[in-house]
Amino acid sequence: MADTPVQERIYRAEIEDSSRWREFDHRPGDIFICTAPKNGTTWTQAICSLLIFGDPAAPSGSGTFSPWIELTMEPVAELNARLTKQTHQRFIKSHAPMDGIVWWPDAIYLAVCRHPLDMYFSVLKHGENQNNPEQNPVYNMDPVKSFDYWLNEPLQAEDTNNTTFEAAVHHYKSYMRWVHLPNVHLFHYADMKADLPGQMSAIADAIGVTHPPELMSRLADAATFGAMKKNAEQHAPEVDDGYWKDKRNFFHSGTSGKWVGRLSNEQISAYDARMNALLSADERRWLEWGTTGVPPG
């Protein structure tokens, strides 16, 4: 077994290709925000932007100065050229598991996870809010067929679907495996909801940024879910091309427990069986509930 991460797989889909990492011109200090979809990606991009620029009015940069490295719509050479012009500490989005990316010892990897069932319902809302929904079986609005596909679709590298249950679990395990490394950091959506100032301080430590307490408090206020939704124009990705029906609904609710009262006992039992087959009890507790290991409330 290698003692540092290596790119063992290439994950490809219609608009994604993790082989692009091999052509990426990294810079020491680069921050890679590594999440499965709907696990706090744009939120973490906004937090990094606020911390790096030290400005409560800083936008998230999602899709502009904080691009998605696997996205094939822009040639890698053009992406490299665009990022070379940046003089600030760069922060870049990724949806690939760690076995699909390149690890550099002088870069910083921030992985963020979320309760898989909250991810599922957030993915559904994501599809509903698109003017021209992507071809993703999870967006099937028949709740039984959609959930069954999401829960049971096997992980595959090509043609990958990173919005499924197994993809999210694999993403988590791929980063957890390397969290002992000093430049790999694992965060949880529930912890960020419960203690945003504390988690922002931890992210600041991870990326090497310091600010006075008064400014950190203002930056945390700007990173709350309500502030992000209110300022959707500066935070939601693809805000200028008619992608969304309502930009504010990209930040639909930000709550946990979205599945309560919406899934049958049979669906919950099937989910429990899949979780217990793929994760240990401790791994499951953390992936669902974060540091506390228990539901909020």
Asked whether residue 163 carries a pLDDT value surpassing 70, the answer given is yes
Asked whether residue 296 carries a pLDDT value surpassing 80, the answer given is no
Instruction: Tell me if 103 is assigned to some domain.
Output: yes
Instruction: Tell me if 11 is assigned to some domain.
Output: no
Q: Give the domain CATH number at 49.
A: 3.40.50.300
The residues facing 66 across adjacent strands are: 62
Asked whether residue 176 carries a pLDDT value surpassing 90, the answer given is yes
pLDDT in tens, 95-120: 999 999 999 999 999 999 999 999 99
Which residue would you say has higher pLDDT here, 254 or 284?
A: 284
Instruction: Tell me if 69 is assigned to some domain.
Output: yes
Instruction: Tell me if 6 is assigned to some domain.
Output: no
Instruction: Tell me if 2 is assigned to some domain.
Output: no
- Predicted pLDDT at 211: 98
Q: What is the DSSP string of 130-179?
A: BSS--S-GGG-S-HHHHHHHHHHPPP-SBT--TTSHHHHHHHHHHHHTTT
- Predicted pLDDT at 245: 43
Q: Whole domain around residue 212: which residue ranges?
A: 18-292
**Dihedrals phi, psi of 61, to nearest 5 degrees:** 75, 5
β-strand pairing of 91-94 with 108-113: unpaired
Contact status, residue 108 vs residue 29, Cβ threshold 8 Å: yes
Average pLDDT, rounded, for the chain: 89
According to the per-residue pLDDT averaged within each range, which of 215-219, 231-235, 258-262 is highest?
A: 215-219
Domain tally for the chain? 1
- Angle 22-18-1 from CA coordinates, rounded to 5°: 75
Asked whether residue 255 carries a pLDDT value surpassing 90, the answer given is no
The average pLDDT across 260-275 equals 92
Instruction: Tell me if 1 is assigned to some domain.
Output: no
Instruction: Tell me if 162 is assigned to some domain.
Output: yes
pTM for the structure as a whole: 0.90
List, edge to edge, every strand of the sheet that includes 108-113: 91-94, 31-35, 108-113, 184-188
Asked whether residue 281 carries a pLDDT value surpassing 50, the answer given is yes
Instruction: Tell me if 272 is assigned to some domain.
Output: yes
**pLDDT grade for 243, boundaries at 50, 70 and 90:** low
Asked whether residue 132 carries a pLDDT value surpassing 80, the answer given is no
